[in-house]
């Protein structure tokens, strides 16, 4: 079947809007008609990454409607509204069977080689393969994705908001609720107020934290943090965050700190700013050449926990529907994360806006696709081409 897609044809080059072929879903795969997709900073990183296989279709934050299913698919059916998860898991490894599906490694090899789980692609142009991104490739009218990437949401969930759930929203919320296990009445610091940090604040708010202290070096971001539920703010460019955290908590430090910055200095400050028995959760990816320095003196006495969290310890089939319900109940803010709504043809404008450093990196441009205007069954029958 032919579809319109934004194709990455070279490192750092503007995406090209092209007509490409998408093949039928194979075993345990689903064809999704994309309704909306977010443009994430990770897409910009992939566009400038020499290791991204080319040509590729980027996009890993998406939601849509199931258009067809391959053999053996049981979790979704045609017409279901789904949000997409970019870390499908195997379901059988030690991590999966003990509930830590976010630690499953089965998706990484295909993710880095630009294929689906079986090592092949469903995308092509003129007989030549086009690679997938994060096993999704949502910058296109349709996507063939693993069944375990398709999480059914309630019919009333709007697709633009649903598209946000699978990346920064789940990561930030999960960092607070699942990784830091924020409890009612506790005190929480969130370092780094971006697309993940504001959702860590929301997670802490929903978990019932009494004080939520946002730490950032940009005062504009701290103002935004208050809109999402921060009760206090610290400008880390002007004040020592760990000292202020202690002042705000009777000298003890916070129960939990969530570091979304990717900077080791912030993690070191968070470590000092949590109380005995407290937890520091690191969500951001560090510069791999850096080392983290934690004071050795008294380490055994303070009982603190330093914990990395990938994807916010998210279990998509547990968390995505919960987040949709929180949104539909008016408890989780997603509308405020949509900066603007654009068409696929204008996708390069969304990439340009990232390069404007005054842009506050909290919300998203959302690409919306018109609803299927033709009889999709006929189109699927007539237009599929076999891609080897």
User: Which of 61, 80 has the CB closer to Zn ion?
Assistant: 61
Sign of CA dihedral 247, 252, 256, 259: positive
Q: Closest CB to Zn ion among 23 and 167?
A: 167
3-state secondary structure 230-284: CCEEEECCCCCHHHHHHHCCCCCCEEEEEECCCCHHHHHHHHHHEEEEEEEEECC
311 touches Zn ion by CB under 5 A: no
Of 104-112, 305-313, 329-337, 375-383, the window that binds Zn ion (rule: CB under 5 A) is 104-112
Under rule CB under 5 A, residue 167 binds Zn ion: yes
Q: Does the protein bind Zn ion through residue 173 (CB under 5 A)? A: no
Of 17, 78, 90, 322, the one binding Zn ion by CB under 5 A = 90
Among residues 28 and 42, whose Cβ is nearest to Zn ion? 42
Q: Is 104 in the site for Zn ion (CB under 5 A)?
A: yes
Non-local CB neighbours of 348 within 8 Å, separated by 6+ positions: 14, 15
Pairing of strands 2-7, 274-282: unpaired
> Min. distance of Cβ 322 from Zn ion in angstroms?
19
Measured over the CA atoms of residue 248, residue 361, residue 341 and residue 146, the dihedral's sign is negative
Tell me which of 17, 54, 93, 380 binds Zn ion, using CB under 5 A: 93
Does the footprint of Zn ion cover residue 334 (CB under 5 A)?
no
Least distance to Zn ion, CB of residue 44, Å: 10
Dihedral sign (CA 288, 188, 198, 142): positive
Instruction: Identify which range of 86-94, 180-188, 346-354, 364-372 contacts Zn ion by CB under 5 A.
Output: 86-94
Task: Name which of 104 and 387 has its Cβ closer to Zn ion.
Answer: 104
Three-state SS for 120?
coil
**Strand 364-368 to strand 338-342: parallel, antiparallel, or no bridges (unpaired)?**
parallel
96 or 326: CB nearest Zn ion: 96
**Shortest gap between Cβ of 351 and Zn ion (angstroms)?**
13
φ, ψ for residue 349 (rounded to 5)?
-65, -40
Contact between 185 and 210 (Cβ < 8 Å): yes
Q: How many CA atoms lie within 13 A of 12 on its CB side?
A: 3
Express the helix, strand and coil content of the chain in percent, nearest 5 each: 30, 25, 45
Give the nearest distance from C-beta 83 to Zn ion in angstroms. Answer: 13
Interface of this chain with Zn ion, residues 55 to 84, rule: CB under 5 A: 61
What is the smallest separation between the CB atom of 97 and Zn ion, expressed in angstroms?
8
**Binding positions for Zn ion, 214-243, rule CB under 5 A:** none
Q: Name the minimum Å distance from CB 167 to Zn ion.
A: 3
Q: Judged by CB under 5 A, which stretch of 36-44, 202-210, 237-245, 274-282 contacts Zn ion?
A: 36-44
What is the C-alpha separation between 147 and 138, in angstroms, rounded? Answer: 15
Q: From the list 17, 54, 78, 96, which residue makes contact with Zn ion (rule: CB under 5 A)?
A: 96
* Residues in region 38-57 near Zn ion by CB under 5 A: 40, 42
The DSSP result for 27-88, as a single string, is TTEEEEEEEEEEE-HHHHHHHT-TTS-SSB-----EEEEEEEE-TT--S--TT-EEEE-S--
Considering only 62-70, 95-103, 200-208, 291-299, which stretch makes contact with Zn ion by CB under 5 A?
95-103
CB 54 within 8 A of CB 121: no
- Which spans of this chain sit near Zn ion (rule: CB under 5 A)? 40, 42, 61, 89-90, 93, 96, 104, 167
């Amino acid at each position: 079947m032919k579809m319109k897609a934004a194709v990455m044809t070279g490192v750092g080059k503007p995406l090209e809007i092209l007509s490409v072929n998408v093949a039928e879903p194979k075993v345990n795969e689903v064809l999704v008609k994309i309704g909306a997709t977010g443009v994430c900073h990770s897409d910009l990183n992939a566009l400038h990454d020499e290791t991204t296989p080319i040509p590729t279709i980027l996009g890993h934050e998406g939601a849509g409607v199931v258009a067809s299913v391959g053999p053996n698919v049981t979790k979704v059916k045609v017409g279901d509204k789904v949000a997409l998860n970019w870390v499908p898991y195997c379901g059988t490894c030690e991590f999966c069977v003990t509930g830590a599906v976010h630690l499953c490694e089965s998706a990484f090899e295909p993710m880095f080689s630009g294929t689906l789980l079986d090592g092949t692609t469903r995308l092509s142009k003129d007989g030549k393969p086009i690679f997938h991104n994060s096993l999704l490739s949502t910058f296109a009218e349709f996507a063939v994705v693993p069944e375990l990437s398709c999480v059914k949401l309630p019919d009333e969930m709007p697709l633009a908001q649903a598209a946000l759930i699978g990346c920064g929203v789940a990561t930030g919320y999960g960092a607070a609720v699942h990784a830091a296990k924020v409890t009612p009445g506790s005190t929480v610091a969130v370092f780094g107020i971006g697309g993940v940090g504001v959702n860590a604040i929301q997670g802490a708010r929903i978990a019932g934290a009494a004080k939520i202290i946002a730490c950032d070096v940009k005062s504009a971001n701290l103002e935004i943090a208050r809109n999402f539920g921060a009760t206090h703010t610290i400008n880390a460019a002007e004040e020592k965050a760990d000292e202020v955290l202690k002042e705000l908590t009777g000298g003890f430090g916070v129960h939990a700190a969530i570091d979304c910055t990717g900077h080791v200095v912030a993690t070191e400050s968070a470590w000092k700013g949590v109380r005995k028995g407290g937890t520091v959760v690191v969500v951001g990816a560090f510069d791999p050449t850096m080392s983290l320095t934690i004071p050795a003196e008294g380490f055994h006495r303070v009982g603190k926990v330093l914990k990395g969290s990938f994807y916010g310890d998210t279990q998509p089939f547990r968390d995505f529907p919960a987040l949709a319900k929180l949104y539909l109940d008016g408890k989780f803010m997603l509308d405020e994360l949509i900066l603007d709504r654009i068409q696929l043809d204008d996708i390069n404008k969304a990439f340009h806006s990232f390069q404007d450093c005054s842009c506050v990196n909290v919300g998203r441009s959302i690409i919306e696709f018109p609803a299927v205007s033709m009889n999709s069954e006929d189109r699927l029958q007539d237009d599929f081409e076999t891609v080897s």
